[in-house]
Structures are given as C-alpha cells and as structure tokens.
Structure 1
C-alpha cells in the first residue's frame, strides 16, 4: 500500500562546476520514484541561474510511495545545447517508513566522483 510523502529539496553545496573553472552552474534537481514509463512519478525544481557551488532551492513535492521504493535524485546543469549531468544519488525509503522523517545531507556521486551534496527533508504524511 502506498502512502504520500513530502520531499523538500532544501539546498545543495560544493556542486562541481560543469562549465569550467570560471563558468557558473545553472542547477536544477529532478526527483523520481519508479520508472516514469511505467506509471512512476517525477518532479523538477526551478533552475537557479549563475550559481558558483551553493544553491538554495527551498522547494517541496508530494509523491505516492511504498517502503520498498527508492527516491532517485539527479542534479543537472541547464545548458543551451544539452544539460550536463552533475551527479545523482538514490535513497531507499524503508527508513522513512520506519521513522516518519529523514533530514540529512546526501552525497551527489560516489567515491572519487563526488560532485557535491544535497540537503533533503523527507516526511511521511499521515492521513
């Protein structure tokens, strides 16, 4: 049985610059649960122009989810020709369904390919 969850994209920090040392990112975040072609859900934040590495998003989105789902978080740099993939992470939702709320920083990318961090607050909405 699925329940509604609220996902708040609070801020990102230390995002790698995709447009060179002097370039600035135009980051946005895409959140998804499930495969979008099979009835999954997807939400996208506003694009924040000309950011150096730290971004205040302050946006929230409602999803329907099960404890077995995972939230996919992808950060992109908006570009004229094609958007650069800054990095991503996946968050299993099982802990959220046990605790009711998770508020923490997540690494974007892994190992030597860490591309920054994103702060999220996930809340299980009880009807």
Structure 2
C-alpha cells in the first residue's frame, strides 16, 4: 500500500492510514465561551456529551439565571446535539448572549407613520 497519492498535476498528498486515525482524534474538545463583556471561559468536554449539559454547566459556573443564547457560527446551539454533531473543534468559540425580545415597531404604528409621511410630504 502506498503512503501517498499523486494527482494529474503532479501534486502529492499523504494518505492518513486508517489504523492511525482513532489514536489522533481526542475524546475531548476544548471550547472557548465569550460573553458580552469579552470575558473568556474555557471548558474541556467530551465529544459525545449533549451540549445542553455543557451549557447548563457554564450557566451554573457563572451563576446565570436569566435566559441565555449560545451562538456558534452565527446559529443558536441545539442543546440536544453533541460537540461532534455540531462540528466543534478544539479552540472553537461559542458566544454567550442575553436573550433579546422584540426589537421592532408594531405593524400598525409603522403603517400609521408611513401614512402621515405620505400626507405631509
């Protein structure tokens, strides 16, 4: 069995032997949590542990009781998935944000403002 693969362009790529792969993958991943004050907290967690337990542990460690959103790559983390299922790697960052509700004007007020603008312009 050859240890490298040659492509048509002459480039050579090394093959990863299948018997080496399991020993190179750690059973744990280190995650960095960053809150809104840019405080960093590191946690080493099992790749197969549900992230809900990890996130609850973070909240307990930081004594957080309000509702918190955990964001990875721009998306909220599904608490029922594991680190492997989400694709977390060593050193990946999870943003910790307080939940925000609302954020916009009700449609009726917006329509009223548009009507006033049209009448007086």
Calculate the TM-score normalised by the size of structure 1.
0.28
Bigger fraction of residues in strand: 1
- Please state which structure has a larger fraction of its residues in helix: 2
- Please give the TM-score of this superposition, normalised by the length of structure 2: 0.29
